[in-house]
Structure 1
């Protein structure tokens, strides 16, 4: 299509003209582009738009989209947004895969997520509810093929409180995501880069049918892109349109977003087995207004051109922007917008109330037609109406003058707005001869409420961060975009000096002279901390006048210096940089100061965590064996990987003990929980097992004694364990298991299987528990693998899948040295960016005969 980015959609990318083949080989298919990354490939844009539209319609939704991987590792971008205004949802255009949101979890785990209502979402994803606190249901499916992960397919719909998402709808989402994954894999094989680098493509959701007024028809040759129209359609389209014409000429009359709906009708009709499909579109009329049109399409199924032509009927529904006498007689100002936020209807009372003619309002995005709708609080009300489907009412004060009561009444096709002047509000506006006027410093409740959204969202995000680096990353991801910042530096106080802990966006090496600066230095980062007052400079020139001789970078933007003080104790200072001069309103200064307090609390908590974590890591390092005994006939290798979520240490351990009589005890265990307490308990259990083993006790007695000791040490704490007593000379072994995963055995012939060990109850529960013994034999060249569940468990997946994956990986290492085998088995875990649990692995191999 010919239309470029629609007026008022600065970040939402729409359809563009394309000369490539259409859905069935014709021309004119729309394409997308991103403001930051240039045009997206036509085929990629179409595949994403088609999948998102299909998913929303199949599950009865009203909005949806597709998140796609980007050129930045760990970052997903919203590539397609269906049925919602793009600019209104700008904060959700980017999604880091380590964030506690359903989109991120689905991409990480490869498992679908279905949230039936807000209560369901609150239990699993509180940050999602905090950022979008509205009643709606959401369905998420991973877009994958084989092991390749492309992104996530999303659909939003009305909530069903207390009723889980129907299995049929779960299946529809899964199938839609799989189809999209296959399509993207095909594009990738043909050389298309399946990544999204720019802003999202916004797609209009086709609407229902209505009462017809005028009819017209067309015949579309999908191969050549030629469209032939009858006289009825030509009359609807108005002067300047001729027949035949190209499909580009026809779609140039559509709003860019609606071009996707036309292509969807064509695509579905050609693949619908001849069944007619009905869609409604908005057509831009000769007067610039929008008219609702209905497309009923059926592909030809006979003749030499079978499947290559599309015929359709367009019906002018007569509900354009002019309005009718009936609505003009209503005592209320009425204004309607579609689901992409464009004004589609204005009545006469609205013109009078706002003092604006219809031509200035119609067809424009709401926040352009009514600039006060660009305010954060008012945008939040529109989001609430679009997502919840429930009426929303609030007070607004356009341009600081008359107070209005605003009611938003949403539906599947858009939102109807009712505006009414508040009684007595006329006295607040200008009055001739009085010179009295309300000024902008009288903020409405909505103005004040809007300032709460940023602190709440950032506060919730900060609760997920436990290290200073994670806190700094959250500030970078959440705070900078909210205020349009480009640079961030965080300094932490230690021994009366400020040390640089985090920086982003500054020229390389620029901040090094300020690293380790003392509290007696006169630099703004020190002054803001020692005085407790934030400092705001609207330009670098202003900063230079306040601090002569201070080194300044080449950037000419603004700076904000914020003190990081928690509970009255200084923690450090934070610097925000902006790439151009700007002012700071009183509201912004207040919010930034409040956010600095939240950041300081999170950093103070992170410093305590770092201290405890260092103690725990040192304790655990001291308790785990630094080297394993070397025995003729047997090799042993161990590996330990700490978790990366929460405390970095846990209770997993392994050990190899020379028990006397030429035997080796192979031990692996897992104490519940993480942190210093778990590491300490692990050390006590390891010592107990070692003492019992060195005392010559039988395997079942070793486990019984350790069980009773744990109950005496810490009632309520429990652990799993596997103990194997091996004779290296004969390969004979006796094994006991206390609630631990079954080990794996790699045979000399290269096959691998689970070893079926009889099991007893986990340690620490029942002081009378017994642990039966299983006898087995390790043949020369065999490898026994003992492991903890962190190696095989994945969120949202059955543990049996992980064990089977490990079994296959072990079988594939038959010819490798034992140390390399251990590295292979833990490689995927080591490369993972997020490990919720720690991992222990112990391998024991008998030397092959003659080895």
Structure 2
């Protein structure tokens, strides 16, 4: 359902910043951003995480947006910027329930949220806390960290997350009291984590009087050298802290700087610190005459030849380019937000670009081929799992690179090696490493994904297809078409649980009749299809011989291939079992086991939904049939016709309704509305709203009061539910219309001369949001022979199409109805929609016409 013409502050368009003031013409305030960023950083650091963020309400009911992302590059995680609160993901559940969720490892995540693991199939732990203040729900606080398999999240970290969410909620409530709009309509702001214990960069300087041999140091250099060194001192005191070779280099630099041309000289030397460690310093020397030394007083001599030296302690113990420029590898580094922070000399040559043109740029801009979905997936894997990732890249025709990603808390180092023969890198059975040329290449061998591993990047496609499957047969067909080819399987069987027995619901690829003995097997039988469900653990057998050794009494078919038995468990409830069969023996990598188990959870949820479908659909259909008017009032001088089409995706029925009410004061009330969602809940809410509108209308209330009363009733009945509505009161004698609308598309009018127009009605907020909302009245005239068309957005919305374009097409169709009888006109307007096989939303249409001869 789309909201139209709602009141209240809207998102700041095109600024790239969140709305922070609610002012229509003022710039957004940074207070909201700083508050969110500070809370996210604190939460991540307190629980020992490496990333996190905050999801915040967006201004669109039922939609959260990622407002702040800490420690991860935003563009690589674009699919997770938006989160609908009805999705089966932890962020949505936490926001809906107001309860925290803690997932210590991938096993727990698979059990509770298989969609999360299917979309991010990497080992990581995640903690979620609601951001609330009293009854006000703002969003969800998230922290990611390394997994702790089998070890639950400790109470201290649970409490830290809970406190973080509560403190952030109170801070946001304070911003609301100050007039700030606490909503996030934009893309997320990315925030860098603090560096993990890196020593600070320090600076120092000294002035060397070459005639006297005295050195005067500033405070910065004294701090670097330690308290045992005082200033001024003789040059020998300073050179005693250098290795002999570095001392010679310093003297040579002095002689060069004081030579005939006097050019500045830069040298890198190693300086012994007070802890005995070596600090790598850059020394820039420049000769000056008659210049007072740093820190010298007014009585400083200032005579003779002096040498000024500036030292920079980079704090790393090593200047990267010194070491990496000597390596026969192209090396670059990025920070946790994906910006290039270092490029060595060989990378410049390999890419044909200078360091200056690469440094500071996002990786996907510096290396555009990293924008490919496969390469983004590798980057996500490294950033989330913390494990090294190796893969083969094909940046341009005829060119291949082996890429190694080595992640750390503060960033990621990448090694690029040109490959002339990528085929040799394919793994071969029985070889110790994929295509290693010798001992010197063994550590750099590339794990190129083969056909099986490439299946790990199919779960999102399977999840999308499952979301569109309604019946158990459709779910099984999707699994056959998507899952089997992705993993190279040939056989599939799905069993569903009923009265403590498993019944065969779908099979393909098995010998005829082979599975019949297992149809109706009891839960106390020792067969793998039962044990995978009762234990909740997936069972993998690399060959039929291995399966036979484990279950010696189990009948086996003629195939010698592998078998995978997957438990179908949805939200802790057993649904059934899934069996995958393969023609040949094969192993199952840890990644494949993880993804297959997660996908089994998706299949279970789809099958559970399908099992509920028939019962729930029948209940919802009965509700809607009972609640929609079976006939409309017959009134002299006015004809009315209504049409309803259910959606074809998911539940068949939704919350659209129409009605025509004789008010008792000689008027007709024309009503059309759209309740959020589908199914029994939407149909029930629709019935309550329809009854409320009828009651208010029959009591003779004004249109604006009908809408106000219905709005307050919906808030009392179901906080969080919302609906749009358009209410038009028609005087059949005069044709006068008094109309109000609550976030609903305005009606169309077909005039007697055949022209059409979009009736401009003042808009109010959708019902169920604000109990103080008002609904202004618009007065207009319906001439004799004119037709008024009220409709829900399902009639004008198309995927990928702007709703205004849909309304324009409906206007053309309405104009083309000409002098058709009203019932025929209604059929023509919905004819195209009726022919569409995939209709995501239901449709309601109400036409009202004044007869041409009625004056």
Highest CA radius of gyration, 1 or 2? 2
TM-score per shorter chain, which class?
0.3 to 0.5
Q: Relative contact order (alpha carbons < 8 A, sep ≥ 6): 1 or 2 greater?
A: 2
Q: TM-score, normalised by structure 2?
A: 0.44
Q: TM-score, normalised by structure 1?
A: 0.44
